[in-house]
């Protein structure tokens, strides 16, 4: 909007219930949000620069035929009114707007269309979600952190009826593993928020996510159409708090963090999964350095996962645990053929090869972290790797 709507416009008369979604300033956000939300009425400002409100109205009606579009503008020229009519606009209001006039138009639109109805005695207030935030990190790159985060999220989406979110701060690799092509990212969300905004709505967060066919919702940092904008200082705390209200479990795939970033981010997490390796001393050393930066009060939240473990590794699990000074939660076997195949297929290996040893060990990790029921294993199968 080029200017705020008049105060009190959304106060509907008896018999009408209104739910106002946050405004947006970019046309592509409107079209994307229509894929994941169900607005009855869409208000467009024709005076907003650098976009054609009438073309956006037409595209919005094509994307969601049930939506009614109301356009506001300072321009009351006949050609504007004709364009509005041809685009399928329901009403065209001239500024300056008054609350009563806007409210009457909305009620008139609602009265003349078959919109959703709610019986007063059928209203059910859903219990608020107080979700868990799981950060997946590592002391160095290339250890399979994104693969673990993506497969754990897919595992929970498959094995539970919970709402699962996956946030990929790490260069969008999670989108490749899920065969998704997000157009918008959290950077778009950050750039559209006021720095002093206390909290973000769940509906607003969902507009920037991309649903996966197995039920989880994926958010990338930067989509294919993202424009770089300013990021509020309190964006991450607000984002994570909104994730708690939106998802039962949210996995955060982090890039490598500086000491200062760790001090800011770690207290916001409930579970901190640290991915490492026993294949070389560099991975061991980087993991040890990472853990030394974790405050003592946060260490109980840590879960160490040794990934791509192989019998030929030069470092034993006992030496590794002794060196880092922390118990190992799980050891995942090395299966490069399976993981490469899953990447090429654009599907997590926990879905494409659920009976493999790597998938079994990941399910065992899920049982440890989230108390998931284990799938019974054939008594003849061999387990080369143990959990302790």
At 123 the pLDDT is 44
Q: SS3 sequence, 215-269?
A: CCEEEECCCCCCCCCCCCCCHHHHHHHHHHHHCCEEEEECCCCCHHHHHHHHHHC
Please report the beta strands in the chain, taking only residues with DSSP state E, as ranges in sequence order: 41-45, 68-73, 91-94, 132-138, 164-168, 210-211, 217-220, 249-253, 271-276, 302-309, 328-333
Terminal alpha carbon distance of the chain: 57
Decide which of 3.40.50.970, 3.40.50.880, 3.40.50.300, 3.50.30.50 is the CATH code for 132-370: 3.40.50.300
CATH number of 27-122: 3.40.50.2300
**Would 27-122 and 132-370 be classified into the same CATH topology?**
yes
At 218 the pLDDT is 96
Q: What's the CA gap between 23 and 45, in Å, rounded?
A: 11
Residue 61 and residue 31 in contact, taking contact as beta carbons nearer than 8 Å: no
Average pLDDT across each block of 10 residues of the chain; the chain has 388 residues. List them in order. 74 69 71 71 85 88 84 85 84 86 81 54 57 95 95 92 91 87 87 58 85 92 80 88 93 95 95 96 96 93 96 93 93 94 90 89 89 49 38
Coil, helix or strand at residue 92: strand
Coil, helix or strand at residue 315: coil
At 183 the pLDDT is 85
Question: Domain limits of the chain?
Answer: 27-122, 132-370
């Amino acid at each position: 909007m080029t200017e705020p709507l008049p105060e009190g416009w959304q106060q509907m008369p008896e018999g009408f219930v209104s739910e106002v979604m946050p405004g947006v300033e970019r046309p592509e956000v409107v079209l994307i949000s229509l894929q994941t939300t169900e607005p009855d009425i869409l208000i467009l400002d024709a005076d907003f620069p650098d976009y054609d409100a009438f073309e956006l109205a037409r595209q919005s009606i094509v994307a969601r035929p049930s939506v009614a579009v109301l356009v506001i503008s300072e321009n009351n020229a006949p050609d504007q009114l004709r364009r509005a009519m041809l685009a399928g606009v329901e009403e065209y209001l001239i500024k300056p707007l008054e609350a009563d006039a806007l409210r009457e138009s909305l009620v008139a639109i609602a009265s003349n269309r078959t919109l959703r109805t709610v019986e007063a005695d059928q209203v059910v207030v859903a219990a608020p979600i107080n979700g868990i935030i799981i950060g997946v990190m590592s002391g160095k790159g290339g250890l399979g952190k994104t693969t673990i985060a993506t497969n754990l999220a897919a595992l929970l989406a498959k094995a539970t009826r919970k709402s699962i979110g996956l946030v990929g701060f790490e260069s969008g690799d999670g989108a490749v593993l899920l065969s998704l092509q997000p157009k918008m990212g959290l950077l778009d969300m950050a750039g559209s928020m006021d720095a002093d905004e206390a909290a973000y709505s769940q509906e607003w967060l969902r507009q920037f996510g991309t649903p996966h066919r197995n039920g989880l919702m994926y958010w990338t940092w930067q989509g294919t159409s993202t424009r770089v904008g300013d990021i509020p200082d309190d964006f991450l705390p607000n984002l994570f708090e909104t994730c708690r209200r939106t998802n039962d479990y949210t996995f955060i795939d982090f890039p490598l963090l500086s000491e200062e970033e760790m001090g800011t981010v770690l207290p916001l997490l409930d579970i901190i999964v640290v991915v490492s390796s026993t294949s070389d001393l560099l991975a061991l050393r980087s993991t040890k350095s990472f853990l030394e930066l974790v405050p003592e009060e946060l260490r109980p939240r840590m879960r160490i996962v040794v990934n791509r473990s192989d019998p030929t590794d030069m470092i034993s699990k006992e030496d590794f645990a002794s060196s880092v000074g922390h118990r190992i939660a799980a050891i995942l076997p090395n299966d490069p053929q399976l993981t490469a195949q899953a990447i090429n297929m654009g599907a997590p290996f926990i879905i494409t090869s659920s009976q493999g040893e790597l998938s079994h060990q990941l399910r065992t990790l899920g049982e440890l972290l989230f108390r998931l029921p284990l799938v019974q294993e054939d008594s003849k199968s061999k387990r080369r790797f143990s959990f302790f």
